[in-house]
Amino acid sequence: MPVTRPIAITMGDPAGIGPEIIAKAFREAPAELAGCVVVGDVATLRRAAQRVAAGCVLPVAQMEALADWQAVSPNCIPVLQKCELAAPAPFGQISALAGKAAADCIVWAARATLAGECVAMVTAPIHKEALAAAGAAFARFPGHTELLQAEAAAFLGKEPSALPVRMMLANDELKTVLVSIHLSLREALDAVTFDSVLQTLRITHQAVRSPTSGRPRIAVAGLNPHAGEGGLFGREEVDVIAPAIARAREEGMDVSGPFAPDTVFMRARAKAGQAGEFDVVVAMYHDQGLIPVKYLGVEQGVNVTLGLPMVRTSPDHGTAFDLAGSGTADPSSLMAAIRMARRLAA
């Protein structure tokens, strides 16, 4: 099908590897990046292009407007200047200026995508400390997910609490959806409630499709060791998680559990072309769900925000300040995120 609207790629924190993995992706796979527009800082992208050029010319074209995206020559990196930086940020340094530049690009791309001007948005990594330093408008957001939730809610004329979203981490072998996202572990334990688990199951059921039946087979991880052993190691499974699963089944969802969290991810994993026992695992908190996906390979992991009225994906890694400026960062996860965005937007 012809591409009629672009995918917006935000540059991420300009002091991190985001601009370099974007430039490297355009260098290595220009055909796959056709129809993508970078929302960022032109000078920063030109610096990144020089770092990853590897002996070839990698021109950066500054666009005057989003509508110009189809007129940009192939083999160029099309960039919309949507932030203010007097000069490219120093590599590997946390700063309020870098955080605000990243946030401004995210906000612009989100609004364009929500308005239907872009078919999807893919976000390069940001640094949460830099975002927190970027000023009161952004300091209240722990990360991309919460910022995008607020933008989408405002677009719909709702309070953010009326637009529940969830983080899904996915690769070809495993998908996990999180009940809570960027909370301390102590707060995350308190966030495991009947309502939050049931809401997560509803969002997962609506967003994830089984490759065979359409209705996803959802496994639910317990919170405690051995899923609580019937209450011996904690009662959350008995008092909270199992009742939420029962309600989800009453609503017609294919949900099983709660299962011991140290084995359920292995049961769901697809290997050697064979589907796993489940299509997706609902995990109770951030690291419980992210560790197994990242262990299988950060280079192929994709973060998808479920519950938004738009498609948003991102690489499954951070800003890697230690690699910034070296030109050696791997763009594979970014490429996987772009492919995922295309599939979800189709």
Mean pLDDT, rounded, for 322-342: 94
> Is the pLDDT confidence value at 197 over 70?
yes
Mean pLDDT, rounded, for 206-224: 87
- Give the side-chain half-sphere CA count within 13 A for 191: 17
Question: pLDDT for 37-47, tens place per residue?
Answer: 999 999 999 99
Question: pLDDT for 268-310, tens place per residue?
Answer: 999 877 889 999 999 999 999 999 998 887 778 899 999 999 9
**pLDDT for 55:** 72
Phi and psi of 210, rounded to 5°?
-75, 140
Pick the CATH number of 172-292 from 3.40.50.300, 3.40.718.10, 3.40.630.40, 3.50.50.60: 3.40.718.10
Q: In angstroms, what CA-CA distances link 274 with 147, 174, 267? A: 37, 12, 12
**pLDDT for 2:** 55
pLDDT band at residue 231 under the 50/70/90 scheme? confident
- Across 28-32, 56-60, 316-320, least confident range: 56-60
**pLDDT for 185:** 94
By CB atoms closer than 10 A (0-12, 13-18, 19+), residue 146 is middle
**pLDDT for 304:** 95
pLDDT band at residue 73 under the 50/70/90 scheme? confident
Higher-confidence position of 264 and 232: 264
Share of the chain above pLDDT 90, in %: 83
Query: What is the residue-wise DSSP string for 15-69?
Result: TSSHHHHHHHHHHH-TTTTTTEEEEE-HHHHHHHHHHH-TTS---EEEESSGGGG
- Across 53-62, 87-96, 214-223, 301-310, least confident range: 53-62
> Is the pLDDT confidence value at 17 over 80?
yes
Phi and psi of 110, rounded to 5°?
-65, -45
258: preceding bond cis by omega (within 30 degrees): yes
**pLDDT for 3:** 66
Could you tell me which CATH class the domain 7-162+312-345 is placed in?
A: alpha beta
Query: What is the residue-wise DSSP string for 164-213?
Result: --EEEEE-SS-EEEES--S--HHHHHHT--HHHHHHHHHHHHHH--BTTT
Are domains 7-162+312-345 and 172-292 of this chain identical in fold? yes
**pLDDT for 309:** 96
pLDDT band at residue 213 under the 50/70/90 scheme? low
**pLDDT for 218:** 97
pLDDT band at residue 75 under the 50/70/90 scheme? confident
> Is the pLDDT confidence value at 1 over 70?
no
Share of the chain above pLDDT 70, in %: 98
Mean pLDDT, rounded, for 224-240: 91
CA angle 298, 217, 287 (to 5 degrees): 35
- Structural domain boundaries of the chain? 7-162+312-345, 172-292
Question: pLDDT for 107-162, tens place per residue?
Answer: 999 999 999 999 999 999 999 999 999 999 999 998 899 999 999 999 999 999 99
Mean pLDDT, rounded, for 99-114: 97
